Amino acid sequence: MLNFYPGPSKVYPEVRSYLLDAYDEGFMNTPHRGEQFVQMSRTVVNSIKRKINIPQDYYIFFASSATECWEILIQSLTRHKSYHIYNGSFGEKWYEYAKKLRPNAEGFQFDLNEPMPVSDLQVSADTELICFTQNETSNGTQVSPTTILNLHNRYRDTLIAVDATSSMAGLNLKLIKADIWFASVQKCFGLPPGLAVIACSPRSIFRAKKLAERSHYNSLVPMYEKMLNYQTTHTPNELNIYLLKRMLEDRPFIKGIEQHLTDRAQDLYTFFEQFADFKLLVENEEVRSKTVIAVQANEKLVEDAKKRALHHNIRLGNGYGPWARNTFRIANFPAIQDEEYEELKRFFLHYYA
């Protein structure tokens, strides 16, 4: 099965051997307070900073999912409200979730074909956290590094948190331009679901310690205190952390990965532009995602393409949210090989050219 679903997506084929090694090396039942886990955790923290280009003074934490990260950040970094900028389903869900915890949370929605309009934002002085999704998995859009820089420059005194679930480990993100970045590992990391990585700036930890929120399963201050010794507040997903360690050891640096994905994304966009019955959901090239390609057609054709592809052992991603019925999505993640995309293109040329 060729899996182009944008999460959980294809895992690196080496994961099979990593799992056997984890069993043989005892990582499936090692105490999470023991030295074996601590050494592994320390190695992962150092590797992820080096391979993914995370600033050395940022703190790394583990959670179960990006969705849990939404909760951790709202409960530990705000007392009153956050401000959410979104153009798709996952950014909006983060906003809706924040309102359940902090009813004063505010949101700003913009169109999927326009860049984030930083100059139009009305972020009040009492906003404690600005939140947005860098790569919107639901519709195949992205917020560019230039836009993130503009946001950073305009709101230097406000913490900024970024959901990078479908771009971290695929793109060379400029993490210094925001305070918190997080991602689940079942997309660009090429690993099974059940683990998320959070990177926090020193000033975000300073804010967390000032608020001193300790009331939840994963509150940021206890997480910080435990990770000073490379431990977690809870029994972690040790197996997936081990897989993360091995994956980072075997992968190139992020700059090379990003260039490959960028070139491949452009090839895929060019390919789908040639069809009369399909069109790209995102018309503005400036805001098109490099890691999730959304293709639009009438509902009948979308359903036909997904069923035909599945018959040929090709799994396309369903549409999501408002675009659930009239789009399909294609993951452009590092674990998927170039030849698999060539097979995908042959399929579309055979049936729809």
> Which residues lie across from 84 on neighbouring strands?
107, 131
Strands in 101-234 per DSSP E: 106-109, 129-133, 135-136, 141-142, 159-163, 180-184, 196-200
Same domain, 51 and 100: yes
Tell me the average pLDDT of the chain: 97
Out of 235, 250, 265, pick the residue that ends a domain. Answer: 250
At residue 65, the pLDDT reads 97
Q: In 10 A of CB 18, how many CB atoms?
A: 22
Please give the annotated binding residues for substrate, written as ranges: 329
For tokens 């890691």, the residue is: 291
**C-alpha pair distances (Å), 345 with each of 7, 12, 269, 325:** 21, 21, 11, 22
Count of beta carbons in the 10 Å neighbourhood of residue 250: 10
Summarised one tens digit per residue, pLDDT across range 60-119 is 999 999 999 999 999 999 999 999 999 999 999 999 999 999 999 999 999 999 999 999
Binding residues: 329
Does residue 271 share a domain with residue 232? Answer: no
* Residue 280 domain boundaries: 2-8+253-352
145 — pLDDT class (breaks 50, 70, 90): very high
Say whether 232 sits in a helix, a strand or coil. Answer: coil
pLDDT at 217: 87
Token digits of residue 309: 């592809």
Q: What is the pTM of this model?
A: 0.97
pLDDT beyond 90 at 350 = yes
Q: At what angle do helices 89-101 and 66-77 cross, to 10 degrees?
A: 40
Residue 37 confidence (pLDDT) above 90? yes
- CATH number for the domain spanning 346: value is 3.90.1150.10
Percent of the chain with pLDDT strictly greater than 70: 100
Distances in whole angstroms, Cα of residue 264 to Cα of each of 94, 112, 175, 189: 30, 22, 23, 17
Residue with tokens 């798709």: 88
Both 340 and 207 in a single domain?
A: no
pLDDT of 159 strictly over 90: yes
Q: How many domains does the chain contain in total?
A: 2
The per-residue pLDDT for 54 is 98
Mean pLDDT, residues 235-254:
97
Look-up of token digits 């895929």: 268
Residue at which a domain ends, from 229, 250, 271: 250
Last residue within a domain, chosen from 187, 219, 250: 250
Same-domain pairing of 295 and 241 = no
Cα–Cα distance between 71 and 79 in angstroms, integer? 13
The per-residue pLDDT for range 163-222, each reduced to its tens digit, is 999 999 999 999 999 999 999 999 999 999 999 999 999 999 999 999 999 999 899 999
